[in-house]
């Protein structure tokens, strides 16, 4: 199963409430994915300032807050730029003027006890195993403001119930993805993408889809073009919700077994696995509702 929600705020009206509304939607998708949950929040950020969200999954193994600061210190030497640290439970957000992609790769190569959940000027990702409501409250989703969010509740089928197997997945700057379904050619695709310079941190099929989009977009594709290629190259079942720097997109495979419903008002676009998540949103009674067509790319941009 798995539950997906996405909320894209077209106007300023609900931006202070992005987190609260996303938490309401996530709560409704609990039954579709009680194993674990995660969310990505996009806000305006500061130009040139990269945030790197990190996870120390095995806090029990003796990771302490000081370790974050020690890691940041080493990273400063690599980047030649200062790194600020904000610790949130077992996550930390590093902020720097340095190169985000370099920072991500250095942490993957040199800090195996950490997972890099996201990097970019606009995005932060938080995820954990356990009850989705508890996950939302532990990382204080409800207090967050921003422009768009995507979130996921997981019922694991293709890999173990671990925080690292939870969604959203992000490999490229400001790009992330949540997935309901399963891919059948992810091993082959992972190998191909690694040869093209993508790096992966899990055995999860959905991370490969995120890596695929990051690679395409790094090659110059727009999100629409990247998804057009994804339709040809990804084999399996999927409903994706994708967040990028300035937008939000949806794609379902051509068979479309995995559910999706979209609602749009003048202030927001919302997508979910089920209508009951959307039913929580303000002004929903005036929304235009539709089921996304199979194999059709839908995207919205803050700049259009």
Catalytic residue numbers, as ranges: 2
In whole angstroms, the minimum distance from the beta carbon of 131 to another protein comes to 20
> Virtual CA dihedral for 269, 42, 154, 278, nearest 10 degrees?
-20
Report the distance separating Cα 118 and Cα 53, nearest Å.
Answer: 5
In whole angstroms, the minimum distance from the beta carbon of 289 to another protein comes to 6
* DSSP state at residue 169: B
Phi, psi of 272 (to 5 degrees): -155, 165
Report the distance separating Cα 47 and Cα 299, nearest Å.
Answer: 24
**Sheet (strand 261-264) strand order:** 123-129, 36-42, 148-154, 3-9, 268-272, 261-264, 288-290
Q: Which residues sit at the interface with another protein, rule CB under 8 A?
A: 28, 256, 259, 261, 274-280, 289, 291, 294
Nearer to another protein, 87 or 256 (CB): 256
Report the distance separating Cα 282 and Cα 61, nearest Å.
Answer: 44
Whether omega for the bond prior to residue 168 falls within 30 degrees of 0, making it cis, is: yes
In whole angstroms, the minimum distance from the beta carbon of 210 to another protein comes to 26
Nearer to another protein, 207 or 274 (CB): 274
Residue 116 tokens, joined? 């890099």
Nearer to another protein, 43 or 274 (CB): 274
Nearer to another protein, 144 or 252 (CB): 252
* DSSP state at residue 293: P
In whole angstroms, the minimum distance from the beta carbon of 31 to another protein comes to 9
Nearer to another protein, 117 or 278 (CB): 278
Distances in Å between the Cα of 59 and the Cα atoms of 118, 223, 271, 294 are 19, 36, 34, 42
**Angle between helix 100-110 and 65-79 (nearest 10):** 120
In whole angstroms, the minimum distance from the beta carbon of 288 to another protein comes to 12
């Amino acid at each position: 199963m798995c539950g997906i929600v996405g909320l894209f705020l077209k106007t300023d009206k609900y931006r202070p409430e992005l987190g609260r509304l996303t938490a309401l939607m996530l709560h409704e998708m609990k039954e579709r994915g009680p194993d674990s949950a995660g969310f990505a929040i996009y806000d305006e950020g500061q130009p040139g300032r990269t945030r790197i969200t990190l996870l120390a999954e095995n806090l029990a193994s003796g990771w302490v807050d000081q370790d974050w600061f020690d890691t940041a210190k080493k990273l400063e030497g690599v980047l030649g730029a200062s790194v600020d640290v904000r610790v949130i439970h077992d996550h930390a957000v590093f902020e720097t003027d340095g190169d985000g992609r370099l920072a991500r790769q250095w942490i993957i190569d040199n800090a195996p006890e950490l997972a890099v959940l996201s990097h970019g000027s606009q995005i932060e990702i938080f995820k954990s195993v356990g009850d989705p409501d508890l996950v939302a409250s532990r990382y204080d989703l409800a207090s967050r403001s921003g422009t768009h969010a995507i979130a996921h509740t997981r019922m694991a089928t293709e890999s173990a119930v671990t925080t690292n197997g939870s969604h959203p997945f992000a490999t490229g700057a400001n790009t992330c993805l949540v997935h309901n379904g399963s891919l059948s050619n992810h091993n082959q695709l992972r190998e191909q993408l690694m040869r093209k310079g993508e790096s992966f941190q899990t055995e999860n099929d959905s991370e490969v889809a995120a890596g695929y989009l990051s690679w395409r977009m790094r090659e110059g594709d727009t999100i629409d073009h990247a998804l057009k290629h994804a339709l040809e190259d990804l084999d399996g079942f999927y409903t994706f919700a994708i967040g990028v720097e300035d937008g939000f997109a949806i794609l379902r495979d051509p068979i479309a077994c995995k559910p999706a419903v979209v609602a749009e008002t003048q202030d927001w676009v919302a997508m979910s696995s089920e209508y009951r998540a959307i039913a929580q949103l303000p002004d929903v009674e005036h929304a235009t509702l539709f089921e996304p067509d199979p194999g059709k790319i839908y995207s919205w941009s803050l700049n259009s």
